[in-house]
Amino acid sequence: MTTTNEMVLVFDQPTNPLSLNQSNSWHWAKRKKHLDPWKLAIRVAYNKYMAREEFPVGPITVKFTFTFAKNARRDPHNYIATVKPCLDALVQEGLIPDDTAEWVSVAEPELRIANDNFCLVHISLRETK
């Protein structure tokens, strides 16, 4: 196994990314039902990656790239509603001990228009001072 300071997780988006606008208007049970598949998908992708590579524990920067089929006006920051549960899953998997600012920096999500349904998650080890 090799050790790397950057990993890219690629998986099919299990549902449409949830925006804060949608999330704030949904009952917690509906929100959980929509987001639990995201947590599972990122956990599976992370474990597949870790089966063939090693990634050191340390502060990280994370960038999500979400795919949409139709071009529409969207605010990338609204998709933190999908990012947060995915970060929780990475904590549960042991990539980082906590999802506080000490351990995680989240870059603005990138939104792409394509006919595929991929989500890309770029995770890189952050330089410490």
Radius of gyration, CA atoms only, the chain: 15
For the entire predicted model, the pTM comes to 0.88
Q: What share of the chain is helix, strand, coil (3-state, %, to 5)?
A: 35, 25, 35
* Domains of the chain, start order: 2-125 (3.30.1330.70)
CA distances from 13 to 54, 56, 62 (A): 24, 26, 17
User: Running DSSP on this structure, what letter comes out for residue 67?
Assistant: E
User: What is the predicted pLDDT for the residue at 128?
Assistant: 54
- Give which of 102, 89, 103 is closest to 47, Cα–Cα: 89
pLDDT tens digit at each of 129 positions of the chain: 556 688 999 999 999 999 999 999 999 999 999 999 999 999 999 999 988 888 888 899 999 999 999 889 999 999 999 999 999 999 999 999 999 999 999 999 999 998 888 888 998 877 655
Instruction: Tell how strand 2-3 and strand 53-54 pair up.
Output: parallel
